Amino acid sequence: METKKITRILFVCLGNICRSPAAEAMFRCVAEREGISDILLIDSAGTYGGHSGELSDPRMRRAAAARGIEMTHRARQVREEDFGKFDMVIAMDDNNYEALFRLAPDRAAQQKIYRFREFLRHNPDWSYIPDPYYEGHEGFELVLDLLEDGCATLAEIISKEKGSSEV
Binding site for ligand 4NP (CB under 6 A): 13-19, 46, 50, 131, 133
Is 131 known to be catalytic? yes
Residue 88 Cβ, how far from ligand 4NP at the closest point, in Å?
18
Nearest CA-CA partner of 24 in 35, 12, 33: 12
Q: For residue 121, how far is the Cα from the chain centroid?
A: 16
Shortest distance, position 49 Cβ to ligand 4NP, whole Å = 10
Q: How far is the CB of 1 from ligand 4NP (least distance, A)?
A: 41
Active-site annotation holder among 13, 18, 29, 151 = 13
Give the residue from 53, 54, 40 showing the smallest Cα distance to 11.
Answer: 40
In the complex with ligand 4NP, the residue whose CB is nearer, 8 or 49, is 49
Q: How far is the CB of 61 from ligand 4NP (least distance, A)?
A: 12
State yes or no: is 13 an active-site residue: yes
Tell me the residue number closest to ligand 4NP, measured at CB: 15
Q: Which of 18, 19, 61, 93 is catalytic?
A: 19
Catalytically annotated residue among 43, 57, 82, 131: 131
Q: Is 134 exposed, middle or buried (0-12, 13-18, 19+ CB in 10 A)?
A: exposed
Q: Which is nearer to ligand 4NP, 14 or 155 (CB)?
A: 14
Count the neighbouring beta carbons within 10 Å of the beta carbon of residue 66.
11
Shorter beta-carbon distance to ligand 4NP: residue 66 or 157 = 66
Q: Which of residues 37 and 52 has its CB atom nearest to ligand 4NP in the complex? A: 52
Helix axes 137-166, 58-65, angle to 10 degrees: 60
User: Which residues does the annotation mark as catalytic?
Assistant: 13, 19, 131
